[in-house]
Amino acid sequence: MDPLTPKDVEHIAQLAYIKLSDEESEDMRVQLTNILGHFASLSAVDTEGVEPTGHTTDSNTVMRKDEPLPPLDQDDVLRNAPDRDGEFVRVRPVLE
């Protein structure tokens, strides 16, 4: 396969919401290209008409009764937020 370009890495970084330094980006480009190269052999396997496996148990949509259970303690949950205001989690502006 063709090596990844710096633009490819930048695009993945945006999709993954991860900020990389320039040095990290270049390392990532080289390593991903190398790892993806090892995957090329898969294209040789004939998978015509083969159903994909998502998971190995044969159950699919599992239904259960919608019964209310005791909720988590609000303070126990909110104590982990990096920035909190009373019973709210504070975030930076969402709209630019």
Partner 1 sequence: MTTHSTNSDLYFATARELRSKFDGREFSSVEATRAILDRISTLEPSLNTFITVTPERALKDAEAADRRLQGSGQEAGPLTGVPIMIKDNFSTKDVETTAASNILKGYIPPYDGTAVRLLKEAGAVILGKGNLDEFAMGSSNESSAFGPVHNPWDTDRVPGGSSGGAAAAVAAGECFIAFGSDTGGSIRQPASLCGVVGMKPTYGLVSRFGLLAFGSSLDQIGPLTRSVADCADALNVISKHDRRDSTSVKAPFDDFAQDINAGVAGMNIGVPKEYLVDGMESGVRSAFEASLKTLEDLGANISETSLPLTDHALAVYYIIAPSEASANLSRYDGVKYGLGTLDADTSAQATEIARGEGFGDEVKRRIFLGTYALSAGYYDAYYKKAQQVRTLIRREFTDAFLKFDALVTPTSPGVAFKLGEKMDDPFQMYMNDVCTIPVNIAGLPSISVPGGISEDLPVGLQFIGPQFGDTTVIRAAAAYEQATNWHQKHPLI
The residue within the footprint of partner 1, chosen from 5, 6, 10, 18 (CB under 8 A), is 18
**Tokens (6 digits) for 77:** 């949950």
Cα dihedral 14, 17, 18, 20 in deg (nearest 10): 30
The Cα 8–Cα 14 span in angstroms is 10
**Tokens (6 digits) for 6:** 């710096």
**Residue 77 interacting with partner 1 (CB under 8 A):** yes
**Residue 68 interacting with partner 1 (CB under 8 A):** no
For the CB of residue 85, give the shortest distance to partner 1 in the complex, in Å: 12
Which residues, including other chains, have CB under 8 Å from residue 33's CB and lie 6 or more apart? 1, 3, 4
**Residue 66 interacting with partner 1 (CB under 8 A):** no
Q: Which residues bind partner 1 (CB under 8 A)?
A: 8-9, 11-13, 15-20, 24, 28, 31-32, 34-36, 38-39, 41-43, 45, 47, 50-57, 59, 62, 64, 72-73, 76-77, 79-83, 89, 91-96
